[in-house]
């Protein structure tokens, strides 16, 4: 079930204060003392480092904040009271129900006057996903509810303006109904053949259904693949395929008319179970081996001991006050010359808004739009599988981060909240923020009499989403040179295929097991505003050429030139990165040239491998994934083209809710408000090293966004975290420092309890909090509750924040 997401902020996993994500225009202010600053500034003894969290005051509420408890409760109450919608709480397949509710992000055209101080905050609306099961053709439809908290003015209406589907945004649902009777028929037939093939009980197996399920030529055909059941606590089912597949016809809503239409085994198709059983009992019939669960698939320590591995490894520590500020109410973050607001949507996850550098907005919105995984294989399940992971909730599936493993032990953590049906819950420590010194300098140069070197310090914001078999890590990084990097990594259990006849789709990686090839493509939106909203897309290309020069007596020379141009229209802005990496793209402002006559901007380029879909004109995705067939796209910003996809696009891929190709309709890109839609991802070819889990170190993709003729020089020269070593001809030397303070305090060896005054609820809840710097070296791994539920219905308006 998909859920709504906003924020709660706990410092270091210990101090929690409940807050929504909100804010307005950023001002650079001196940090002010937090009301709980004393908790962190106490010392265990003289000379012991203090750890403090500076705060900053955002000038106004964040218009991108998630729905408040009161807003959500009112919206849900309004929906369930609507006679027209006829929703049923905890309804069945023949009822109308609420699937998800979240903030409908305000239109940029309404937000910009507010950010400029020239208008009021735009009214707030909720976006609700409803499923209508009361007809013979059930469907999903999105609604907008609002303006919120305005009494009789609140209305619910179809959210049509964000969809370019015709005639409306209704999407048919073809797997609405379940049937115990049909399942028993399928199980009975499966048991018979399982007994013949492996002499085993069918209860030890299960079926995995292809995703998506849809109608073709008036018929709903469903393929399922047999897989073994996990024999441990680990969810190993996706690596236990058994090579047996069944096809069923589930057309219509009367399960008594559904039927089994065939079986596939060893790439031989049988039209009935009797035909299959007859063949399986004949001499010479090839019976395939099983994929058997065991320690090879389990997440346990294995292999010979590594030298010195039992010793503690190096770790990063925070030697004093943190060097970034957070508004704990508005979730506004300021680090060095960067500032931004943080928000989370239930389907798309963590997003950043109003990113400013040196006080000027460079990006209005940055965040993931869709994460798809497209498979291929000799069998119908792998061949027919494509996941749109926003359907499952990239934000609502955020998991708790493990202190000292996912993030440094000194990190500041944010909780996330979500909706599960009509219940609001909390995921503790869903986001971490930290500053870190990287393992290479940002600048270095040596000459005859000097060595100059500068530390490379970055600020990172990170989350992890678990969607079934995969964990996705998303990290936003900011650096002293004015650059940003968006990175994603994947780890977890692969979705493997059975090995027989699958040689052209993967490698044999275990007994009877094939690593199934698949593409991961994660589409991100970056809405640039470089010195205003009017920008252009510049292309800079290295090209080979033969030239003659006046200084070379007219003789031709083979060399290279730079070719500068601008991409004129959206028709030209469907782009793949050049194979040799010799083309560069920047969003620039031609109307604000620097003193050298160059257009300032920000360049975007791959920092680690990127990917687009390998399959062209996919039979599975059809028009649903037109945002994923190139490396990036640039379009003119429109309020009606706010998202690259829709979580339910695959329900009707021929006519999806959002067909991204329709955005590319030839409009001018010359000094317009531009949006870059770039794809990260991996062409994943699983091998033996993917067992038991794929690892983050290689399943990695990233995009860097950096100043390009935007500044007069390298802004990292402003940092005090640099030195110059001076040497004279006589061998004498000196070191020049630039004002950086050095940690002279000790790292205490004991974790202390600090009794609090219990003057407010936070003090009462977290009295005797345990904290010290030594805890960074040996962090306590907390076992966090998965949810802290707040039931929203039946709603009691006098207690909107009640628990239970």
**Cβ atoms of 49 and 447 closer than 8 Å:** no
Could you tell me which of 59, 62, 69 has the C-alpha nearest to residue 148? 69
Is the whole-model pTM more than 0.95? no
Strand 15-18 and strand 423-437: pairing?
A: unpaired
The proportion of the chain whose per-residue pLDDT surpasses 70, expressed as a percent, equals 86
* Tokens (6 digits) for 177: 């109904």
Give the pLDDT of residue 106: 98
The pLDDT tens digits for 491-511 are 999 999 999 999 999 999 999
Give the pLDDT of residue 90: 85
Rounded Cα distance, 144 and 128, in Å: 6
Q: Is 553 a catalytic residue?
A: no
Give the pLDDT of residue 615: 98
Tell me which of 177, 354, 389, 690 is the catalytic residue. 389
Rounded Cα distance, 132 and 88, in Å: 10
Give the pLDDT of residue 35: 32
Q: Is 270 a catalytic residue?
A: no
pLDDT at 534 over 70: yes
Give the pLDDT of residue 168: 92
CB neighbour list of residue 704: distance below 8 Å, 6 or more residues apart: 483, 484, 485, 604, 605, 606, 607
Give the pLDDT of residue 52: 85
Could you tell me which of 632, 116, 129, 173 has the C-alpha nearest to residue 396? 129
Rounded Cα distance, 321 and 53, in Å: 6
Model confidence at 742, pLDDT cuts 50, 70, 90, reads confident
The pLDDT tens digits for 682-691 are 999 999 999 9
The conformation of residue 549, written as its DSSP 8-state character, comes to: -
Model confidence at 780, pLDDT cuts 50, 70, 90, reads low
CATH of 180-297 among 3.10.450.40, 3.20.20.60, 3.40.50.10950, 3.40.50.1220: 3.10.450.40
Residue 587 phi/psi, 5-degree rounding, is -95, 115
Give the pLDDT of residue 345: 93
The pLDDT tens digits for 567-600 are 999 999 999 999 999 999 999 999 999 999 999 9
Residue 177 phi/psi, 5-degree rounding, is -110, 145
The pLDDT tens digits for 299-311 are 999 999 999 999 9
**Strands ordered across the beta sheet of 497-498:** 497-498, 513-516, 506-510
Rounded Cα distance, 634 and 241, in Å: 41
The pLDDT tens digits for 535-568 are 999 999 999 999 999 999 989 999 999 999 999 9
Q: Is the dihedral of CA 353, 357, 360, 362 positive or negative?
A: negative
Give the pLDDT of residue 470: 95
The pLDDT tens digits for 18-58 are 233 333 222 333 333 333 333 333 344 456 677 888 999 99
Rounded Cα distance, 107 and 117, in Å: 16
Tell me which of 143, 245, 418, 470 is the catalytic residue. 470
Give the pLDDT of residue 785: 60
CB neighbour list of residue 261: distance below 8 Å, 6 or more residues apart: 221, 247, 248, 249, 271
CB neighbour list of residue 143: distance below 8 Å, 6 or more residues apart: 79, 85, 127, 128, 129, 130, 156, 157, 158, 159
3-state secondary structure of 133: coil
* Tokens (6 digits) for 532: 């205003």
pLDDT at 100 over 70: yes
With tokens 């990496």, the residue in question is 581
* Tokens (6 digits) for 683: 């062409």
Model confidence at 425, pLDDT cuts 50, 70, 90, reads confident
- Helices 180-198, 273-280: axis angle to 10 degrees equals 10
- Of 101-110, 494-503, 761-770, minimum mean pLDDT range: 761-770
Rounded Cα distance, 72 and 286, in Å: 59
Could you tell me which of 403, 399, 462, 409 has the C-alpha nearest to residue 431? 462
**Cβ atoms of 675 and 456 closer than 8 Å:** no
pLDDT at 753 over 60: no
Cα 484 from chain centre: 16
| Mean pLDDT (whole number) for 114-131 | 95
What are the sequence ranges of the domains in the chain? 180-297
The pLDDT tens digits for 176-203 are 987 777 888 999 999 999 999 999 999 9
CB neighbour list of residue 278: distance below 8 Å, 6 or more residues apart: none
Rounded Cα distance, 607 and 436, in Å: 19
Three-state SS across 669-692?
Answer: CCCECEEEEEEEEEEECCCHHHCC
pLDDT at 797 over 50: no
**What is the average pLDDT score of the chain?**
88
3-state secondary structure of 757: coil
DSSP-assigned beta bridge partners for residue 685: none
pLDDT at 672 over 80: yes
| Mean pLDDT (whole number) for 455-465 | 98
Buried b (16+ CB within 10 A) or exposed e, 600-619: bbbbbbbbbebbbbebeebe
């Amino acid at each position: 079930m998909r859920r709504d997401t906003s924020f709660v902020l706990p410092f270091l996993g210990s101090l929690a204060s409940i807050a929504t994500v909100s804010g307005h225009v950023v001002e650079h202010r001196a940090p002010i003392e937090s009301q709980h600053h004393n908790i962190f500034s106490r010392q265990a003894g003289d000379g012991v480092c203090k750890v403090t969290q500076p705060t900053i005051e955002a000038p106004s509420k964040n218009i991108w904040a998630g729905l408040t408890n009161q807003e959500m409760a009112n919206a849900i109450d309004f929906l369930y009271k609507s006679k027209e919608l006829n929703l049923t709480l905890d309804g069945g397949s023949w009822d109308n129900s609420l699937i998800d509710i979240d903030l409908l992000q305000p239109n940029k055209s309404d937000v910009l006057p507010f950010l400029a101080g020239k208008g009021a905050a735009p009214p707030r609306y909720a976006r609700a996903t409803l499923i209508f099961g009361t007809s013979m053709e059930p469907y999903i439809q999105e609604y907008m509810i609002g303006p919120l908290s305005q009494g009789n003015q609140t209305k619910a209406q179809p959210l049509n303006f964000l969809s370019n589907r015709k005639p409306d945004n209704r999407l048919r649902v073809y797997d609405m109904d379940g049937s115990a009777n049909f399942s028993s028929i399928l199980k009975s037939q499966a048991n018979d053949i399982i007994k013949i093939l492996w002499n085993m009980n069918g209860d030890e197996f299960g079926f995995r259904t292809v995703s998506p399920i849809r109608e073709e030529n008036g018929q709903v055909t469903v393929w399922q693949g047999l897989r073994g059941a996990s024999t441990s606590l680990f969810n190993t089912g996706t690596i236990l395929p058994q090579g047996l597949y069944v096809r069923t016809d589930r057309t219509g809503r009367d399960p008594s008319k559904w039927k089994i239409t065939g079986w596939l085994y060893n790439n031989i198709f049988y039209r009935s179970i009797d035909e299959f059983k007859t063949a399986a009992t004949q001499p010479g019939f090839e019976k395939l081996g099983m994929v058997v669960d065991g320690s090879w698939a389990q997440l346990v320590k294995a292999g010979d001991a590594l030298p010195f591995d039992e010793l503690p490894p190096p770790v990063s520590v925070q030697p004093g006050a943190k060097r970034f500020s957070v508004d704990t109410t508005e979730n506004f973050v300021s680090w060095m010359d960067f500032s931004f607001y943080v928000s989370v949507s239930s389907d798309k996850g963590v997003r950043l808004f109003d990113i400013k550098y040196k006080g000027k907005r460079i990006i209005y919105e940055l965040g993931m739009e869709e994460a798809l995984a497209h498979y291929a294989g000799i069998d119908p399940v792998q061949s027919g599988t494509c996941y749109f992971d926003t359907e499952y909730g990239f934000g609502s599936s955020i998991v708790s981060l493990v202190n000292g493993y996912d993030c440094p032990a000194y990190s500041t953590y944010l909780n996330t909240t979500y909706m599960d049906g009509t219940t609001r819950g909390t995921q503790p420590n869903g986001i971490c923020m930290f500053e870190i010194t990287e393992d290479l300098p940002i600048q270095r140069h040596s000459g005859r009499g000097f060595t100059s070197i500068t530390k490379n310090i970055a600020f990172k914001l990170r989350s992890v989403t678990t969607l079934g078999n995969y964990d996705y890590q998303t990290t936003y990084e900011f650096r002293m040179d004015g650059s940003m990097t968006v990175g994603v990594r994947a780890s977890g259990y692969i979705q493997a295929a059975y090995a027989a006849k699958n040689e052209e789709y993967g490698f044999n990686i275990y007994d009877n097991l094939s690593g199934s090839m698949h593409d991961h493509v994660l589409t991100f939106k970056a809405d640039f505003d470089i010195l205003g909203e009017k920008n252009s897309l510049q292309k800079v290309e290295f090209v080979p050429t033969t030239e003659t020069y006046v200084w070379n007596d007219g003789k031709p020379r083979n060399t290279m030139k730079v070719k500068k141009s601008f991409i004129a229209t959206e028709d030209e802005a469907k782009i793949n990165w050049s194979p040799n990496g010799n083309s560069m793209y920047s969003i620039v402002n031609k109307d604000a040239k620097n003193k050298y006559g160059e257009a300032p901007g920000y360049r975007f380029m791959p920092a680690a491998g990127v990917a687009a879909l390998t399959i062209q004109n996919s039979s599975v995705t059809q028009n649903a994934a037109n945002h994923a067939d190139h490396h990036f796209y640039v379009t003119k910003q429109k309020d009606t083209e706010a998202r690259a996809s829709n979580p339910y696009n695959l329900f009707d891929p021929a006519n999806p809710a959002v067909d991204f190709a329709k955005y590319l309709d030839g409009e001018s890109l010359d000094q317009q408000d531009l949006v870059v839609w770039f794809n990260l991802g991996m062409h994943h070819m699983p091998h033996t090293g993917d067992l038991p889990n794929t690892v983050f170190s290689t399943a990695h993709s990233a995009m860097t966004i950096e100043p390009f003729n935007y500044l007069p020089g390298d802004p990292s020269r402003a940092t005090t975290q640099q030195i110059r070593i001076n040497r004279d001809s006589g061998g004498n030397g000196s070191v020049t420092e630039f004002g950086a303070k050095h940690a002279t305090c000790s790292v205490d060896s004991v974790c202390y309890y600090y009794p609090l005054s219990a003057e407010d609820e936070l003090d009462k809840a977290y009295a005797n909090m345990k904290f010290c710097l030594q805890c960074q070296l040996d962090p306590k791994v907390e076992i966090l509750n998965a949810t802290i539920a707040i039931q929203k219905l039946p709603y009691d308006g006098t207690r909107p924040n009640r628990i239970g």
